[in-house]
Amino acid sequence: MSKITFILGGARSGKSTYALSLAKKYRKVAFVATCQPLDKEMQERIRLHKEARPGHWKTFEEPKDIGVLSGKIGNEFDCIIIDCLTLLVSNLILDGYKEEGILKKIDAMLVNLRKKKAKVVMVSNEVGLGLVPANKLGRDFRDVAGKVNQIIAKEADEVLFIISGVPMKIKGGK
């Protein structure tokens, strides 16, 4: 059964960098990217993220169905990084999914990931520290992303909160 580490933080807090640092000690790493390159700026961000990862890691680009992907990955990896859950939630909402459907996809992902031998590292933005969004879509996103974060944090063996690149242990670990 896999060990799950959940990394939360604000935008540009160093979450992804910290996740990469945890995985660098493993030989066979699967990196699951949920971002969709919808414009030139995002394409450039994705390019920079790819450059930051070791070349021997295997990247899987899956913006919406990590449950299915995690079932297909197999047990060949020592570590699986999923970056990031807030983009996954955003992709699903923009694709027309409602809260119930998103939570079913998260449950399916967790079921498949728990069957893996690999260490699992998941990254997400903490959405509960900001202002209440001004529009319904923003509030719906915040509400669903917050519930997803709570589900993952409950299931995770270890939860870290990153502030300015500094990890704070919230749950589990040494």
Catalytic machinery residues: 49
Residue 164 makes CB contacts below 8 A (sequence gap 6+) with 13, 14
Contact 82, 122 (CB under 8 A): yes
| Burial letters 114-139, b for 16+ CB under 10 A, else e | eebebbbbbbbbbbeeeeeeeeeeee
